[in-house]
A and B are shown apart, each in its own frame.
Chain A
């Protein structure tokens, strides 16, 4: 650690008593570097066993890492909490300016506890915390909230404004937290945890400096990493078309979940491809702070005002692969305009796009099968491809006028337990499916990853690599591959490096960067640390009732061929068994 690095300062905020204090946690940051490593330890400390995720006892923990503010593409903040969506480990990452702002304000972590009696937003600087009345902001859209706070508070350019929309206030368990308008702590319901605390937004601002002991080495290593990022393929890929570049290749493979995964290819994929989006709509690219890649793509959607000739408005709407899958192919929507309008509503309300899309896809199939009545959906009829009805539906998800929408606001696992249709409710460990039907590794990863995300062990990429090599997945390759990747990613998310730059931040490079900070770690030691962090995550999960024996795949995934053919239940069961064994090993301390 750089001598005098303020990263070891943990800022505690108590919303119930409206007070704050700072604690020095040097040992924690020395041992775990920061990010998820420190975060999971803080969560184990701060979150009481069996805590109600929407109760005051559930902490919100934002953590940055030692590479944030020092090296390019170390641009992410990790949020930890108990998830109201799965009732277990809540972990979500976002960039924007959040990581730079927290780091430069001179904190390593911010722990928000308790719950306020009135709506509040926080204004955090190196001097401490301002508690601001947010009653006037309650009910406001995410965009508007950002606009108001931007005007009201100083320090433009060196601050982050993390906020929720109506979905978080109404405790939709997959409400997200939006930062810098277009980035999200998307998954697992951090927005609802904010809402339950009457916390509308958190602003953090700061602009400090840190002096690495050897500044020559610092500049040298920085330059190497910067050049590697800007000259790499990743830069070109993520910058040019961005993540939507995946639409066509995945569709060609037959891995693009379509209409609630009744198919894995979408006949209108061309119409919603990254290429089409760029040609028709791309209006601006933006970047997270300290990231040269600039992968955020904004579509400019120009629309006429009804009833007023020659009067238009232009909305800037961010699009990525996952929302295109969830709010596009999954709902059979083949028009970029329709999809963008839907994406915009989801953004305004502050919902997680992935869970929302899967929830609506499931509802559409339920209606088509006559398993729920139009009365239960407040008169709404959902049909594949009809974006207007889906726009209405996302509002109903937030307003929750009927018991059905109340249930759907808790996700498809919950709703299907009440209304049936579990066979085609695409949730894994309680979290809705990401957009990859690539083969066994993807689905095992969704189910087994510690946060039930495609980003845990990147099973989709394992599947694709096997395909490229013409190899068949074996239980061993899949289970070991998923776990090793997930363990390594704990290191990246302790630093906190954006996963898009993982190709550059290889173990040796990370060691070199850490050397600038005074660490003498070997790649093996780093990997060990990754396993240790993963172990702590499972400790938390098991403590909160995660049952490895009870894990189940949705039937639907066995009904539609993947690029690796039909999934075999025997294979998946065997893999599950092997995985359980490995996790038990891990918990015994065999890293």
Chain B
């Protein structure tokens, strides 16, 4: 079984253009930022470079463990899948995520969870992020 996961290759390559954030939002055909599962902010001012906050694809994800209804199903390649019908919108996953990479969809009252689809990768002009393919639990 093949599965993929997103990786930040080298954060020092990041110029802070936020094209990845806009790309993620476009998956739904929408322009803007409110549904983006990736966020880029400066590390305390542009002079210090950037932080790319995106799902770490943990193999034992704390977010999944924190969910009281089991709405976050662990993916084979790491990270989780949100089963929206189970999610009660309590926000515990947001707090549990060690790398602060779960955002909140205000309009739905549910978390925004990276699906590791890789759409953003094509819109990062500087090769900061990459999609890795994992074969039967092993890195390809």
- Interface residues of A, Cβ cutoff 8 Å to B: 69-70, 72, 100, 104, 143, 146-147, 150, 156-158, 180-182, 207-212, 215-216, 218-219, 222, 226, 230, 235, 284-292, 294, 296, 298, 316
Is B30's CB within 8 Å of the partner chain A? yes
Cross-chain contact B19 with A285 (CB below 8 angstroms): no
- What are 18 A-B pairs with beta-carbon distances under 8 A? A70-B31, A100-B33, A143-B45, A158-B41, A182-B46, A209-B33, A209-B34, A210-B30, A211-B29, A211-B31, A212-B29, A218-B31, A284-B49, A292-B19, A294-B15, A294-B17, A298-B46, A316-B47
Q: Which residues of B contact A316 (CB under 8 A)?
A: 47
Q: Which of B37-51 contact A (CB under 8 A)?
A: 39-42, 44-47, 49
In the bound complex, CA of A298 to CA of B25 (Å)? 30
Partner of A208, one of B33, B45, B49, B123: B33
* Nearest CB of chain A from residue B89's CB, rounded to whole Å: 18
Cross-chain contact A215 with B29 (CB below 8 angstroms): yes
Q: Which of B73-94 contact A (CB under 8 A)?
A: none
Cross-chain contact B15 with A104 (CB below 8 angstroms): no
Cross-chain contact B32 with A290 (CB below 8 angstroms): no
Is B109's CB within 8 Å of the partner chain A? no
Cross-chain contact B19 with A212 (CB below 8 angstroms): no
Cross-chain contact A69 with B31 (CB below 8 angstroms): yes
Partner of A158, one of B26, B31, B33: B33
Cross-chain contact B46 with A286 (CB below 8 angstroms): yes
* Nearest CB of chain A from residue B115's CB, rounded to whole Å: 17
In the bound complex, CA of A294 to CA of B33 (Å)? 20
| A288 closest partner in B (C-beta) | B17
| B32 closest partner in A (C-beta) | A209
In the bound complex, CA of A226 to CA of B22 (Å)? 12
* Nearest CB of chain B from residue A146's CB, rounded to whole Å: 7
Partner of A292, one of B17, B32, B33: B17
Partner of B32, one of A210, A222, A298: A210
Q: Assuming A290-B18, A291-B17, A294-B17, is B29 touching A216 (CB within 8 A)?
A: yes
Known: A212-B29, A219-B26. 13 other contacts (CB 8 A): A69-B22, A100-B18, A146-B45, A147-B44, A158-B41, A181-B47, A207-B32, A209-B30, A218-B31, A226-B123, A230-B125, A285-B15, A288-B17
Is B35's CB within 8 Å of the partner chain A? yes
Q: Which residues of B contact A156 (CB under 8 A)?
A: 41-42
| B17 closest partner in A (C-beta) | A287
In the bound complex, CA of A182 to CA of B47 (Å)? 9
Cross-chain contact A147 with B31 (CB below 8 angstroms): no
Q: Which residues of B contact A298 (CB under 8 A)?
A: 46-47
Q: Assuming A222-B26, A287-B16, A290-B18, is B47 touching A208 (CB within 8 A)?
A: no
Q: Which residues of A contact B16 (CB under 8 A)?
A: 286-287, 289
Q: Assuming A72-B19, A294-B17, is B33 touching A207 (CB within 8 A)?
A: yes
* Nearest CB of chain A from residue B50's CB, rounded to whole Å: 8
Partner of A290, one of B22, B39, B44, B46: B22
| A217 closest partner in B (C-beta) | B29
Q: Which of A69, A104, A158, A182 has the most CB of B within 10 A?
A: A158
* Nearest CB of chain B from residue A568's CB, rounded to whole Å: 46
Q: Which residues of A contact B47 (CB under 8 A)?
A: 181-182, 284, 298, 316
* Nearest CB of chain B from residue A221's CB, rounded to whole Å: 11
* Nearest CB of chain B from residue A71's CB, rounded to whole Å: 8
Q: Which residues of A contact B35 (CB under 8 A)?
A: 209
| A210 closest partner in B (C-beta) | B31
In the bound complex, CA of A219 to CA of B25 (Å)? 11
In the bound complex, CA of A235 to CA of B15 (Å)? 14
In the bound complex, CA of A209 to CA of B34 (Å)? 5
Cross-chain contact A207 with B46 (CB below 8 angstroms): no
Cross-chain contact B31 with A286 (CB below 8 angstroms): no
Q: Which residues of A contact B25 (CB under 8 A)?
A: 209
In the bound complex, CA of A180 to CA of B41 (Å)? 11
* Nearest CB of chain A from residue B40's CB, rounded to whole Å: 6
Q: Which residues of B contact A285 (CB under 8 A)?
A: 15
* Nearest CB of chain A from residue B38's CB, rounded to whole Å: 10
* Nearest CB of chain A from residue B20's CB, rounded to whole Å: 10
In the bound complex, CA of A208 to CA of B19 (Å)? 15
Cross-chain contact B32 with A157 (CB below 8 angstroms): no
Cross-chain contact A218 with B26 (CB below 8 angstroms): yes
Q: Which residues of A contact B46 (CB under 8 A)?
A: 180-182, 286, 296, 298
In the bound complex, CA of A143 to CA of B49 (Å)? 15
Q: Assuming A216-B29, A294-B125, is B19 touching A157 (CB within 8 A)?
A: no
In the bound complex, CA of A288 to CA of B17 (Å)? 6
Cross-chain contact B39 with A157 (CB below 8 angstroms): yes
In the bound complex, CA of A286 to CA of B49 (Å)? 8
Partner of A212, one of B31, B40, B42: B31
Partner of B30, one of A72, A215, A284: A215
Cross-chain contact B41 with A104 (CB below 8 angstroms): no
Q: Which residues of B contact A284 (CB under 8 A)?
A: 47, 49
Q: Which residues of A contact B42 (CB under 8 A)?
A: 156-157
In the bound complex, CA of A475 to CA of B35 (Å)? 54
Q: Which residues of A contact B40 (CB under 8 A)?
A: 157
Partner of B45, one of A72, A104, A181: A181
Cross-chain contact B45 with A218 (CB below 8 angstroms): no
In the bound complex, CA of A156 to CA of B53 (Å)? 12
| A213 closest partner in B (C-beta) | B29
Cross-chain contact B45 with A147 (CB below 8 angstroms): yes
Q: Which residues of B contact A290 (CB under 8 A)?
A: 17-19, 22
Q: Which residues of B contact A146 (CB under 8 A)?
A: 45
Q: Which residues of A contact B28 (CB under 8 A)?
A: 209, 215
In the bound complex, CA of A202 to CA of B46 (Å)? 18
| B126 closest partner in A (C-beta) | A294
A-B pairs with the 7 shortest C-beta distances? A215-B29, A157-B41, A209-B32, A287-B17, A316-B47, A294-B15, A207-B33
Q: Which residues of A contact B19 (CB under 8 A)?
A: 72, 226, 290-292
Q: Which residues of A contact B29 (CB under 8 A)?
A: 211-212, 215-216, 218-219
In the bound complex, CA of A410 to CA of B61 (Å)? 61
* Nearest CB of chain A from residue B54's CB, rounded to whole Å: 12
Cross-chain contact A289 with B17 (CB below 8 angstroms): yes
| B25 closest partner in A (C-beta) | A209
In the bound complex, CA of A207 to CA of B40 (Å)? 13
* Nearest CB of chain A from residue B47's CB, rounded to whole Å: 4
* Nearest CB of chain B from residue A182's CB, rounded to whole Å: 6
In the bound complex, CA of A67 to CA of B108 (Å)? 26
* Nearest CB of chain A from residue B49's CB, rounded to whole Å: 6
In the bound complex, CA of A395 to CA of B90 (Å)? 54
Q: Which of B16, B42, B45 has the most CB of A within 10 A?
A: B16
Q: Which residues of A contact B31 (CB under 8 A)?
A: 69-70, 209-212, 218
